Chains A and B, each alone.
Chain A
Amino acid sequence: MKDSYDGPILEIDSLSISFFTRLREIPAVMDFSVRVMPGEAVGLVGESGCGKSTVALGVMQDLGKNGRIVGGSIKFKGRDLNEMSQEELRKIRGSEIAMIYQEPMASLNPAMKIGKQLMEVPMIHRGASEKDAYDRALQVVTDVKLPDPARILDSYPHQLSGGQQQRIVIAMALMAEPSLLILDEPTTALDVTVEAAVVQLVKELGQKYGTSMLFISHNLGLVLETCDRLCVMYSGEAVERGSIKDVFDEMQHPYTQALFRSIPLPGADKNARPLRAIPGNFPLPHERPNGCNFGPRCDYFEAGRCDAGDIKMFDVPGNEHHATRCLRFQEIDWHAEMDTGHGAEKPEPGRVVLKMDNLKKYYEVAANALFGKRGDTKVVKANETLSFEARESETLAIVGESGCGKSTFAKVLMGLETATDGQILLDNRNIESTPIEARDTQTVADVQMVFQNPFDTLNPSMTVGRQIIRALEVFGVGNNDAERRERMLQLLDLVKLPRAFAERMPRQLSGGQKQRVGIARAFAGNARIVVADEPVSALDVSVQAAVTDLLMEIQREQKTTLLFISHDLSIVRYLSDRVMVMYLGHVVELGTTDQVFAPPYHPYTEALLSAVPIADTRVTKKTIVLEGDIPSAMNPPSGCPFQTRCRWKSQVPGGLCEKDVPPMRQLGGGHQIKCHLSEQHLASMEPVIQIAAE
Chain B
Amino acid sequence: MEPLGWFDILTRIFMQFMPVWIALVVLFTLSIVYKRRLGLYGKLFDSTIGMVGFGLVMFWVFTGIFGAFDLIITHDPLAQVSSMKNKPPGTPIMGAEDGQYPYYLFGGDNLARDVFSRMVKGAWVVVQIAPLATLFAFMVGITLGLPAGYYGGKLDTLLSFLANLILAFPVILLFYLLVTPEIVDTGIPNYMAMVLFIFPLVFVAVLLNSRYRTQPAVRTPLLIGVLGVMGWLYLSLISQPGTAITVLPDALDLFNLQGGILVVFVSVVFVNSPTVFRIVRGLAMDIKTRDYVAAAQTRGERPWYIMLWEILPNARGPLIVDFCLRIGYTTILLGTLGFFGLGLPPESPDWGTTINDGRRLLQIYLHPAMVPAFALLSMVLGLNLLADGLREESLRD
A638 to B380 alpha-carbon distance, docked (Å): 64
Number of interface residues of B (CB under 8 A): 21
A460 to B292 alpha-carbon distance, docked (Å): 9
* Contact across chains for B297 and A436 when beta carbons are under 8 A apart: yes
Given A459-B310, A459-B313; A444-B299 close (CB under 8 Å): yes
What residues of A have a CB within 8 angstroms of the CB of B291 in the complex? 451-453, 456-457
Nearest B-chain residue to A475, judged by Cβ: B299
Nearest A-chain residue to B214, judged by Cβ: A473
* Contact across chains for A474 and B301 when beta carbons are under 8 A apart: yes
Would you call B316 an interface residue if the criterion is a C-beta within 8 Å of the partner chain's C-beta atoms? Answer: yes
A449 to B302 alpha-carbon distance, docked (Å): 17
* Contact across chains for B292 and A456 when beta carbons are under 8 A apart: yes
What residues of A have a CB within 8 angstroms of the CB of B298 in the complex? 414-416, 436, 444, 447-449
Most buried by A among B46, B291, B302: B291
Number of interface residues of A (CB under 8 A): 33
What residues of A have a CB within 8 angstroms of the CB of B157 in the complex? none
Would you call A437 an interface residue if the criterion is a C-beta within 8 Å of the partner chain's C-beta atoms? Answer: yes
Near A by CB (< 8 A), chain B positions 261-318 give 290-292, 294-302, 309-310, 313-314, 316
* Contact across chains for B290 and A456 when beta carbons are under 8 A apart: yes
Pick the contact of B300: A437, A457, A462, A518 (CB < 8 A): A437
What residues of B have a CB within 8 angstroms of the CB of A416 in the complex? 294, 297-298
Nearest-CB distance from B289 to chain A (Å)?
9
Pick the contact of A462: B290, B297, B313, B397 (CB < 8 A): B313
* Contact across chains for A436 and B300 when beta carbons are under 8 A apart: yes
Would you call A476 an interface residue if the criterion is a C-beta within 8 Å of the partner chain's C-beta atoms? Answer: yes
Would you call B258 an interface residue if the criterion is a C-beta within 8 Å of the partner chain's C-beta atoms? Answer: no
Near B by CB (< 8 A), chain A positions 441-478 give 441, 444-445, 447-449, 451-453, 456-462, 471, 473-476
* Contact across chains for A444 and B215 when beta carbons are under 8 A apart: no
B contact patch SS: helix
* Contact across chains for A444 and B214 when beta carbons are under 8 A apart: no
* Contact across chains for A441 and B292 when beta carbons are under 8 A apart: no
C-beta contact mask, A475-508 vs B, less than 8 Å → 1, else 0? 1100000000000000000000000000000010
Nearest-CB distance from B312 to chain A (Å)?
9
* Contact across chains for A461 and B299 when beta carbons are under 8 A apart: no
C-beta contact mask, A390-424 vs B, less than 8 Å → 1, else 0? 00000000000000000000000011100000000
Nearest-CB distance from B74 to chain A (Å)?
45
A459 to B301 alpha-carbon distance, docked (Å): 14
Would you call A439 an interface residue if the criterion is a C-beta within 8 Å of the partner chain's C-beta atoms? Answer: yes
* Contact across chains for B314 and A451 when beta carbons are under 8 A apart: no
Given A461-B313, A473-B215; A441-B300 close (CB under 8 Å): yes
Most buried by A among B292, B294, B310, B313: B292
What residues of A have a CB within 8 angstroms of the CB of B309 in the complex? 459, 462
What residues of B have a CB within 8 angstroms of the CB of A507 in the complex? 397
What residues of A have a CB within 8 angstroms of the CB of B46 in the complex? 22
* Contact across chains for A449 and B314 when beta carbons are under 8 A apart: no
Would you call A521 an interface residue if the criterion is a C-beta within 8 Å of the partner chain's C-beta atoms? Answer: yes
* Contact across chains for B299 and A457 when beta carbons are under 8 A apart: no
Nearest-CB distance from B396 to chain A (Å)?
9
What residues of A have a CB within 8 angstroms of the CB of B297 in the complex? 414, 416, 436
What residues of A have a CB within 8 angstroms of the CB of B294 in the complex? 416, 449, 451
What residues of B have a CB within 8 angstroms of the CB of A521 in the complex? 295, 299
* Contact across chains for B215 and A457 when beta carbons are under 8 A apart: no
Given A473-B215, A474-B301; A461-B316 close (CB under 8 Å): yes
* Contact across chains for B292 and A474 when beta carbons are under 8 A apart: no
A217 to B299 alpha-carbon distance, docked (Å): 37
Nearest-CB distance from B260 to chain A (Å)?
40
* Contact across chains for B300 and A474 when beta carbons are under 8 A apart: yes
Jot down 19 A-B pairs with beta carbons below 8 A, ordered by A: A22-B46, A415-B298, A416-B298, A436-B298, A437-B302, A441-B300, A449-B294, A451-B291, A451-B295, A456-B290, A458-B292, A459-B292, A459-B296, A459-B314, A461-B313, A462-B309, A473-B215, A474-B214, A507-B397
List 4 tightest A-B contacts by C-beta distance, closest first: A461-B313, A456-B291, A444-B300, A451-B291
* 17 further contact pairs, Cβ within 8 A, besides A444-B299, A449-B295, A518-B295: A22-B46, A415-B298, A416-B297, A439-B300, A444-B300, A445-B299, A448-B299, A449-B294, A451-B291, A457-B291, A458-B292, A461-B314, A462-B313, A473-B214, A474-B214, A475-B299, A521-B295
- Which residues in B have some Cβ–Cβ distance to A below 8 Å? 46, 214-215, 290-292, 294-302, 309-310, 313-314, 316, 397
